[in-house]
Amino acid sequence: MQKIIVELGSRSYPIFIGEGLIDKPEIYTTLLKTKQVMIVTDAVVEKLYLSRVIEALNGVDVYKHVIPAGEIQKNLESMNEIITLLLKNRFGRTSCLIALGGGVIGDLTGFTAACYQRGINFLQIPTTLLAQVDSSIGGKTAVNHKMGKNMIGAFHQPHGVIADVSILRSLPDREYTSGLAEVIKYGLIRDHKLFMWLEEHIEELTDRESDSLSYVVEQSCRNKAEVVAIDETEKGLRATLNFGHTFGHAIETGLGYKYWLHGEAVAMGMIMASHMSVLQGWLSDNDMERIHSLISKVGLPNQLPQLLHSKDIRDLMSIDKKISHGRQKLVLLKAIGEAIVTENFQESFLQETIDFFHSKIR
């Protein structure tokens, strides 16, 4: 088992990474400071892991709340259901929520914990690759609005993260592949060594070989933890973690949070952002080809979905949390392993990028 600390002073917390961790009572004993717990999960994860977590929480008063699976559930209505149950069961400020699931469950549960009685503890037990390497770490919690993804949220750090890599072997192929987008992202924005490793070992990773899985989860968590420790509330460096997300969120919103998974939209967003970086004269054509090749090899999208129009994407990108004083900010690449957050880009290149990929839809 590996233990990585997200260094935030008095609010520091551990990320535990290893095999079979959700079954270990001693980990929960270490993290929990209460006997009153509510587990929030979805209908798919409930059947696979809920009973194992409850068994490991021996001696704790456990409640559960199960929602349907899917990004479309990440909204204020779902949040209100959880709060109603917390109130009915008289959960106090010393109680704890446990997010057992992927990014949707983690974001929804975390935002509920941030708001309930002005903030209670919560634990993250991420069950997807994407959640283990990215969304469960760093305290960004939110729900969606029909006009924009993650537009209602708060920074609220978890009390701990339990990343059981053995769970990843049972993920559906598409869900697993979606998570690889966030792993690739770390290589692109700050870890050239990781990107080169991915190029050399991608077959082992797509086969879910144990050592390769453990390596990418640990390296990704270390990258995320380092960034969060430096810039918790996204004033600078942390914004680079949004590489591909401005394009990707526009795609997700335009599709009504249906049809594509988050990682699939981010992968397409990274290709578009890389293309625009080439137009800016920053990224080399060779690096762009390497990025496109790796994303395609793992089976992630490299073309826009047919349901979207060029104007829709541009309009949706204008509703973005990174807009400052009316000016769009984008995360672009200077090179593989070097990202920049900038508003000093040529506007025509943004539209040219959108039009280029829209023209390739078939």
- Among 232, 234, 252, 264, the active-site one is 234
Q: Do residues 200 and 148 share a domain? A: no
Q: Indicate the length of the chain as a whole number.
A: 362
3-state DSSP helix/strand/coil percent for the chain, to nearest 5?
55, 20, 30
218 lies in the same domain as 142: no
**Residue 235 is a catalytic residue:** no
204 catalytic? Reply is no
Same-domain check for residues 239 and 297: yes
**70 and 10 fall within a common domain:** yes
Give how far Cα 35 sits from Cα of 11, 91, 94, 182, Å: 21, 11, 9, 35
Which two three-digit tokens encode residue 81?
A: 């259901």
Over residues 223-273, the pLDDT tens digits come to: 999 999 999 999 999 999 999 999 999 999 999 888 999 999 999 999 999
- Identify the pLDDT of residue 325: 58
Q: Where are the beta strands (DSSP E) in the chain?
A: 2-6, 13-18, 36-42, 61-67, 96-101, 121-126, 140-145, 148-155, 160-164, 330-335, 338-342
Domain match, 251 and 117 both: no
Q: By percentage, how much of the chain surpasses pLDDT 70? A: 98
Last residue of a domain, one of 169, 197, 212: 169
Say which of 149, 159, 190, 249 is annotated catalytic. 249
Residue 120's Cβ-side half-sphere holds a number of Cα atoms within 13 Å equal to: 22
Count of domains forming the chain: 2
Q: Exactly one of 156, 159, 262, 321 is catalytic; name it.
A: 262
The pLDDT of residue 185: 98
**Backbone φ, ψ for residue 326 (5° rounding):** 80, 5
Same domain flag for 41 and 156: yes
293 and 213 share one domain = yes
Provide the pLDDT for residue 321. 61
From the list 149, 156, 190, 245, the catalytic residue is 245
Residue 158: CATH number of its domain:
3.40.50.1970
Spot the catalytic one: 71, 182, 218, 252: 182
Question: Which of 136, 169, 202 corresponds to the end of one domain?
Answer: 169
The residue assigned the tokens 């973690």 is: 241
Sort 124 into a burial class: Cβ within 10 Å, 0-12 / 13-18 / 19+.
Answer: buried
Residue 212 is part of which domain span? 173-359
- Structure confidence at residue 324 (pLDDT): 61
* Residue spans of beta strands (DSSP E) within 140-278: 140-145, 148-155, 160-164
Catalytic residue among 65, 74, 140, 149: 140
The answer on 267 and 249 residing in a single domain is yes
26 is catalytic: no
Q: Is the domain of 67 the same as that of 160? A: yes
Kindly report the CATH number assigned to the domain that includes residue 252.
1.20.1090.10
Catalytic residue list contains 362:
no
Task: Name the more confident of 193 and 309.
Answer: 193
Per the annotation, the verdict on 290 as an active-site residue is no
Q: Which two tokens stand for residue 251?
A: 């795609």
The 10s digit of each residue's pLDDT in 84-141 is: 999 999 999 999 999 999 999 999 999 999 999 999 999 999 999 999 999 999 999 9
Mean pLDDT score, 36-51 = 97
Name the active-site residue from 3, 90, 118, 325.
118
Residue 232 annotated as catalytic: no
- Integer Cα distance of 220 and 225 in angstroms: 9
Final residue of a domain: which of 138, 153, 169?
169
Is residue 104 a contact partner of residue 70, using CB atoms and an 8 Å limit? Answer: yes
Q: Is there a single domain that holds both residue 186 and residue 213? A: yes
The yes-or-no answer on residue 11 being catalytic is no
Mark whether 162 and 268 lie in a shared domain: no
Q: Is there a single domain that holds both residue 178 and residue 159?
A: no
Mark whether 262 is an active-site residue.
yes
Residue showing tokens 């961790």? 21
Q: For residue 325, indicate whether it is catalytic.
A: no
